[in-house]
């Protein structure tokens, strides 16, 4: 047997690479020839590159099976590459024409279900395009940082960096009013002489800024996140135009906007929004889909796939503030929601009351532990609506759903690579994957949403 003399590239090595295709998550795929692996070459996943590009890239990680690299320079651009609209690290696919973005996302859903789940025989709908390709997000999380000259900035983490913050003047994913609120907060912080937290030493006050918008109501919710310390809250309230201004203080080492103690500075704690005929109140830490207009499309598809006749018992798992369950309550006999985040459950209960929906009941609990109790309380469901986080369902949660034995499962997924093994486990237990409907919620990014329908055989 011939012995390969191929040497895997070291971290920090610079390579010239020809990019062949796109992996799930958005990185380009290139191969180093002569690796002797018998599979067409050692794979390098390249951020900032698209199929057809020839790039100079630096290796950031090296593993036995593959390496990861970051594009330093595009030596020969792909024929498909177009000029970017915005200098924005959160919009890596903007150099691809939108029609091509849609085609790649459709292909990646099929690839995940086939390659990971070994699933076939289902109906696949054409991907639903986004209504707006820019300025569609109702929520942005920014980070404070320090420029080379010492100036306070507010923007996003540089690609591949946990400490460098790239300032943004106009976030093209946010509305003009949302951008204005960010600029108002930044100007006030500069006038106060406040410093950003150094992510190496954890010295400094300012950490993050969260701006959330009611797309249908026009309301803004602004939340500044700091370490321990003090702010002149009266002055801040006079500097920022919004309907709800909050302050979260945390001493956590990790950078997160979901931990700490939050207090109201001015206005209302909950953000008012309208979707699918519902009037909703959204508390600061509650999950809500970040593209309001496309969330309405997504939920409409999920409701159609549930195929309710008016008598069914529906379980809404990972229900959040109750959006999915409340949007289908009029078509169901009863709705039972389960969610681990207690403020979100409180929102769901409040939202049911404000929309005069009396056949929906919501509980706080971990689906993994509480689903059996919910079955004991409500009896077995006819339909399960499931909208899990990006990590998908653990095997134990899938087993609990199988035990509950719903006739139909409508799975709203934000990650086809976790949908695939979950669906495969359900199919092994006797369900049939009937239909998959991809939906583009996040143009200019590699993120993919889809609705999958499984029925008990």
Which runs of E-coded beta strand occur in 269-399? Answer: 271-275, 278-282, 313-317, 334-339, 360-364, 383-386
Mark which of 274, 299, 321 sits at the end of a domain: 274
| Residue 362: strand pairing partners | 337
Same domain, 155 and 249: yes
The label of the residue with tokens 């379980």 reads 315
Q: Which of 12, 14, 48 has the alpha carbon at shortest distance from 32?
A: 14
Helices and strands in the chain: count of H runs, count of E runs: 9, 22
pLDDT tens sequence for the chain (457 residues): 344 456 788 899 999 999 999 999 899 999 997 654 445 689 999 999 999 999 999 999 999 889 999 999 999 999 999 999 998 888 999 999 999 999 999 999 999 999 999 999 999 999 999 999 999 999 999 999 999 999 999 999 887 778 889 999 899 999 999 999 999 999 999 999 999 999 888 899 999 999 999 999 999 999 999 999 999 999 999 999 999 999 999 998 888 888 899 999 999 999 999 999 999 999 998 889 999 999 999 999 999 999 999 999 999 999 999 999 999 999 999 999 999 999 999 999 999 999 999 999 999 999 999 999 999 999 999 999 999 998 999 999 999 999 999 999 999 999 999 999 999 999 999 999 999 999 999 999 999 999 999 999 8
341 belongs to a structural domain: yes
Same domain, 170 and 318: no
Look at residue 37 in the predicted model and tell me its pLDDT: 47
The boundaries of the domain holding residue 61 are: 14-81
Same domain, 325 and 403: yes
Q: Which of 152, 109, 59, 130 has the alpha carbon at shortest distance from 294?
A: 130
**144-182: string of b/e by CB count within 10 Å (b at 16+)?**
bbbeeeeebbbbbbeeeeeeebbbbeebbbbbeebbbbb
Same domain, 161 and 264: yes
Tell me how far apart the terminal alpha carbons of the chain are, to the nearest angstrom.
50
Same domain, 115 and 18: no
3 belongs to a structural domain: no
218: left (phi over 0), alpha (psi -120 to 50) or beta: left
Give the DSSP letter of residue 295.
Answer: H
Same domain, 214 and 252: yes
Task: Give pTM, 2 decimals.
Answer: 0.91
Max CA pair span of the chain: 76
Tokens representing 315 are 């379980």
Same domain, 114 and 249: no
Helix (H, G, I), strand (E, B) or coil at 163: coil
Total number of domains in the chain: 3
Same domain, 152 and 238: yes
Write the CATH number for 61: 2.40.50.140
Look at residue 64 in the predicted model and tell me its pLDDT: 87
Same domain, 126 and 145: no
Rounded Cα distance between 83 and 298, Å, is 30
CA angle 410, 415, 418 (to 5 degrees): 80
Q: Are 235 and 211 in contact (CB under 8 A)?
A: no
Q: Which of 189, 384, 414, 450 is catalytic?
A: 414
The yes-or-no answer on residue 189 being catalytic is no
Q: Are 166 and 89 in contact (CB under 8 A)?
A: yes
Same domain, 322 and 353: yes
């Amino acid at each position: 047997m011939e012995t390969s003399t191929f040497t895997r590239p070291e971290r920090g090595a610079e390579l010239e690479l020809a990019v062949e295709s796109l992996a799930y998550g958005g990185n380009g795929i290139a191969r180093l020839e002569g690796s002797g692996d018998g599979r067409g070459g050692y794979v390098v996943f390249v951020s900032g590159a698209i199929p057809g590009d020839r790039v100079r890239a630096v290796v950031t990680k090296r593993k036995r099976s593959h390496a990861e690299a970051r594009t330093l320079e595009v030596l020969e651009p792909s024929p498909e590459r177009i000029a970017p609209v915005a200098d924005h690290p959160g919009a890596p696919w903007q150099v691809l024409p939108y029609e091509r973005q849609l085609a790649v996302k459709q292909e990646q859903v099929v690839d995940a279900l086939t390659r990971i789940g070994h699933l076939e025989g289902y109906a696949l709908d054409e991907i639903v395009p986004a209504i707006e390709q820019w300025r569609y997000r109702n929520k942005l999380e920014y980070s404070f940082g320090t420029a080379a000259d010492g100036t306070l900035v507010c923007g996003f983490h540089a690609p591949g960096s946990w400490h460098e913050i790239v300032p943004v003047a106009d976030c093209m994913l946010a509305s003009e009013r949302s951008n204005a609120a960010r600029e108002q907060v930044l100007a006030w912080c500069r006038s106060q002489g406040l410093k950003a937290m150094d992510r190496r030493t954890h010295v400094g006050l300012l950490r993050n800024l969260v701006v959330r918008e009611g797309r249908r109501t026009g309301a803004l919710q602004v939340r500044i996140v700091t370490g321990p310390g003090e702010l002149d809250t009266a002055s801040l309230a006079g500097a920022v135009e919004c309907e709800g201004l909050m302050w979260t203080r945390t001493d956590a080492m990790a950078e997160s906007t979901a931990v700490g103690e939050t207090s109201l500075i001015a206005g209302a704690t909950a953000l008012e929004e309208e979707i699918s005929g519902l009037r909703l109140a959204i508390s600061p830490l509650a999950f809500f889909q970040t593209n309001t207009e496309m969330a309405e499309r997504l939920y409409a598809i999920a409701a159609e796939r549930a195929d309710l006749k008016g008598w069914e018992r529906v379980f809404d798992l990972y229900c959040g503030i109750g959006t999915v369950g409340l949007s289908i309550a009029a078509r169901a006999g009863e709705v039972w929601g389960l969610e681990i985040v207690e403020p979100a459950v409180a929102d769901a209960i409040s939202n049911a009351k404000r929309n005069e929906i009396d056949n929906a009941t919501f509980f706080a609990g971990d689906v993994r532990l509480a689903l059996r109790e919910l079955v004991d309380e409500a009896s077995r469901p006819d339909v399960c609506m499931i909208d899990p986080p990006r990590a998908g369902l653990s095997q134990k949660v899938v087993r609990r759903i199988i035990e509950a034995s719903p006739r139909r499962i409508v799975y709203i997924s934000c990650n086809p690579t976790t949908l695939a093994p979950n669906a495969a486990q359900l199919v092994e237990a006797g369900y049939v994957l009937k239909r998959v409907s991809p939906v583009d919620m996040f143009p200019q990014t590699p993120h993919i949403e889809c609705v999958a329908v499984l029925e008990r055989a």
